Amino acid sequence: MWSSYTCQRCLASLKTGVRPQLQCASQVRLSPQRWISSQNDQPTKSRLPTAQPLLTKRSVSSTARRYQNIAGDVVQSGTSPGLEYTHAPGVSRRVLLQPDNLFHSFSNSPSPDIRRRAAYMKQHAYCPHPDHRQTRQPTTPDDPEAKKSSTAGSPPAHVRFECPDCGIPVYCSEDHWADDYESHLEICDTLRQINEDDHDLRSGRVFPEFKYPGPQLEGALVNMTNWDTFLYSREFEAINADRSMRQVTRLLTYPITIGSVLTELSPYNIRRGGRLTTEGLKSLSALRYTLHPPLSGGGGDIKGLRLNPPAVRIFIVGARAESSLPREVWAQLTHLFPRAKFHIIFIGPESMSNRDDEFPLPPRTPSNPYGAIVEDRISGELKISTYVEYYHTLHKAGHFYPYDPYFDCFMLFHPGLGHPASSHEWEETVPLLLETKVPILATGYTEWDMQRDLKWVQDKMGGEVDLLLEPGENKFRSLRWDLNDLDPQDISCGNWGLWGFRGKRYETTRKD
């Protein structure tokens, strides 16, 4: 139930009728961790073992599903019926790990899932010590593969030895670990943090941070300066612990990154240091005209009937595990824009990652020619479609034509445009994206990654690109670092950087 004049906490008590649990005593804020940009951003496929070489796309959030199951018994108020399927109240919770007992070496972990991951890593990941031969081309300047030589050296060995400080198998033997200690020390702290966070997720505790609030009063503006002000002004429960902040931002980064750029209260502006360019302001103003429409005098009765504009379409091209995020997480985007409707469209060959129980896809019929999964019962403001196709196929078929810069937006989450493993797939798609003249927002794992993507786009498209948002750190990035199972040296955080571009528009062109 949603009311326009009662705050969410009061509604929650009315609904449950019991005294809400007081938050446990505020924990000491952990000292700021060293932010180490990932040493290489080799993308890999999802965790399922494949015969493909290591140099493939990284799948995002392979544990997205788990959030759904673990947070299953947290009651949420104020949601529409379409979102309640993700909760299973009454599921008995068994606490596996206490909060002070979260560090376990991966091979000896109490959780069978993590032990399986450790076995996978030991089968697939290679030791980064320079003595071994190279296994693949180095992808970034910081890649440990760059230190290895391609001709001389001992044959590459799988990792077997787990560092006692971080508990993750990182080297093939203790000697190599001790030898390479200085470079391991750069990431050891972060690896330990990842270890503890992974165990925390499987510890079976109550997760008050996954209790997402519903829609809020229009007048209660959402402050988009940073995560803390956002969570406070959106009336989340207070998230005092850093670990909880990490867990919750890891999922929320996907909808909120989009929301932070499109909203009129966005932290990106045209002042110096605000990263938005004039062209960016033009594109975003068009979208904001639809997202923040003037009041039309409409209401709930017959006299309040007004013509409604179509939904804002956000095409998430090259979607991987983002499409499996719980729908309440995507609904947070609609709660930022009270008077707009959204249609989120996931397009990509891997857009059904982590959604194995939704197979088989619907049959291809004339009314649904691409066998898309359409979820239109989520809420009155959100509809989600998933296409397992390349974007260029759909574009050439004119399936989403016409594209309107007042309603449409493309979002690319870590596309790896310039990355050698994935850039050939984007070569056909990006020119078509630019042709639509609709804003395209892209994120990247690191600064270097984004610059490489930007350079690739400008080289390939011959400069016919307008920059909308200069590359830089995303204010709403994931605060949690993720481990790449195929290469433990490669740690990344989701949506670290954000930038935007669009095809160049000319008012007139010469007829040559």
Q: Which residues bind another protein (CB under 8 A)?
A: 9-10, 12-14, 19-20, 22-23, 25-27, 29, 225-226, 228-229, 231-233, 237-240
d(CA 128, CA 143) in angstroms, rounded, equals 9
| 19 versus 303: smaller Cβ distance to another protein | 19
Cβ at position 84, least distance to another protein in Å: 22
Cβ at position 75, least distance to another protein in Å: 14
| 241 versus 319: smaller Cβ distance to another protein | 241
| 25 versus 152: smaller Cβ distance to another protein | 25
Sole residue written with tokens 């068009």: 286
**429 CB contacts (<8 Å, ≥6 apart)?**
317, 390, 391, 392, 395
| 224 versus 468: smaller Cβ distance to another protein | 224
**211 CB contacts (<8 Å, ≥6 apart)?**
74, 75, 76, 236, 237
| 181 versus 232: smaller Cβ distance to another protein | 232
**58 CB contacts (<8 Å, ≥6 apart)?**
41, 42, 43, 44, 45, 414, 416, 445, 484, 492
Q: Up-side HSE of residue 376: CA atoms within 13 Å toward CB?
A: 3
Cβ at position 8, least distance to another protein in Å: 10
Cβ at position 491, least distance to another protein in Å: 24
Q: Indicate left, alpha or beta for 205 from its phi (over 0: left) and psi (-120 to 50: alpha).
A: beta
Check the CA dihedral 86-92-96-98 and report its sign: positive
Sole residue written with tokens 């948002």: 469
| 23 versus 108: smaller Cβ distance to another protein | 23
Cβ at position 205, least distance to another protein in Å: 17
d(CA 402, CA 250) in angstroms, rounded, equals 34
Cβ at position 241, least distance to another protein in Å: 8
Q: What is the DSSP annotation of 103-118?
A: ---GGG-SSHHHHHHH
Query: C-alpha dihedral over 445, 417, 51, 324, to 10 degrees?
Result: 60
| 180 versus 209: smaller Cβ distance to another protein | 209
| 202 versus 250: smaller Cβ distance to another protein | 250
Cβ at position 336, least distance to another protein in Å: 17
Give start and end residues of each alpha helix (H) in 25-104.
64-70
- DSSP single-letter state for residue 480: S
Cβ at position 266, least distance to another protein in Å: 15
d(CA 327, CA 71) in angstroms, rounded, equals 13
| 237 versus 490: smaller Cβ distance to another protein | 237
Cβ at position 229, least distance to another protein in Å: 5
